[in-house]
A = this chain, B = another copy of it.
């Protein structure tokens, strides 16, 4: 980027909102994904849509890459400015513009922290359900751009189920509105859903209209320990077959159980092959009935130990084990890859078994936990990125793991996105026809390829 471009950017957003010192640029050279980093030329923070539009116009005319960023919690290198250029920091657009109670809709800017939105609407008895592990820091814009999910995905779905409309800025600076407050809307192509999860490659999100839902009145948590992985899988299927859709239905494999027990001493048996954690929510009477049926399904499928939380304190205790999974695994080694390969729900035991055997084969530590109810697994590889020989084995294991998920009818990503991290396997999952169709859409909307270039659909 040339000096006069930097000056032009300063004129648009004010000098204090353009960072160019090496220290500042370094802070925006990476996100939460190991192994990917690149220095940008400038970090630019617009105050509003108009400034965002001017920045993109300038970038587009001068073919300068633009990497949109919120809090940088991305796990697929989506925020890394791999070709230099501009990191477009959206955190100053941080206002909740409207909470419309009659239509159960919120209108907010992309820099709003997801947890802050939920705090704002909690007193109104409403929730915005997508709850990735990073809710306390992640921005709404980032979670929409990544179509983030979370623990409640089975019952409540992911971000795209809640995004009703967007204001975005296209690559050439044009401002575009999609969708609105209408519950039903089939007027034109569903650009809202196309942009949700497009990972900053098609547009920059500047406003989000999202659906809110009534908060559940009651919750009930249960935990079951299984000596046999297959029985855990059957229990999951039995719960669904009983027509119960729990809010959360989590699983941890043996490697995770042992690590968690070592770290948090919560009393898990070290030889258990699986722990299930289930929470049902909704109307208090229904919750009681459903909890009973879940307990039956767990027992009928030979759970070795079943616990049900009688109150909030007991609920917190049950959740402690699941909450410890990632920190416990991350503490083992300096580098942590949290993947999110996802398979159809009935393939979860097969996938866990494959991951475990891949880990053994390549002598790599992988603990798998995740959302058994929706098949969204988190095989977590811990390693040391500074040891090339070990990393060779890690990449080998990762490769086999993704291929195994695809072979089981699964997908590379349930909620973290593709970015750069999972790009090498995209054609394997989708085939060349689909990749070319996606690339043709990228080229149609961003002909100069300035928006997060090289990510998600690769080089065009």
A-side residues, CB < 8 A to B, are 100-105, 125, 146-147, 149, 153-154, 158, 160-161, 170, 174-178, 180-191, 193-194, 196-198, 202, 214, 237, 240-241, 243, 245, 282-283, 285-286, 289, 342-346, 371, 373-376, 409-418, 422, 426, 429-431, 433-435, 437-438, 440-441, 443-445, 456-457
Contacts and interface: CB of A to CB of B under 8 A. Distances in A.
Nearest to A197: B186
Contacts of A371: 184
A410 to B, nearest CB: 6
B146 A176 contact: no
A186 B170 contact: no
Contacts of A438: 188-189, 191
A188 B445 contact: no
Q: Which among A184, A412, A443, A445 has the greatest number of chain B C-beta atoms within 10 A? A: A184
Contact of A182 (B178, B414, B456): B414
A312 to B, nearest CB: 22
Nearest to A376: B184
Contacts of A187: 411-413, 418, 422, 426, 429-430
Q: Please state the number of chain copies in the assembly.
A: 2
Given A158-B184, A182-B342, A283-B285, 9 more contacts: A102-B241, A146-B186, A153-B183, A176-B434, A177-B434, A180-B410, A182-B410, A188-B438, A189-B202
Contact of A375 (B182, B346, B433, B456): B182
B186 A441 contact: no
A165 to B, nearest CB: 10
B196 A190 contact: yes
Contacts of A444: 440-441, 443-444
A309 B343 CA distance: 44
Given A170-B437, A444-B443, A189 B197 contact: yes
A280 to B, nearest CB: 12
A186 B125 CA distance: 29
Contacts of A147: 186, 190
B346 A184 contact: no
A433 B170 contact: yes
Contacts of A176: 431, 433-434, 437
B184 A153 contact: yes
Contacts of A105: 344
B197 A190 contact: yes
A160 B241 contact: no
A196 B37 CA distance: 37
A49 to B, nearest CB: 13
Contacts of A422: 187
B417 A186 contact: yes
Nearest to A233: B102
A158 B183 CA distance: 9
Contact of A286 (B146, B283, B441): B283
Contacts of A286: 282-283, 285-286
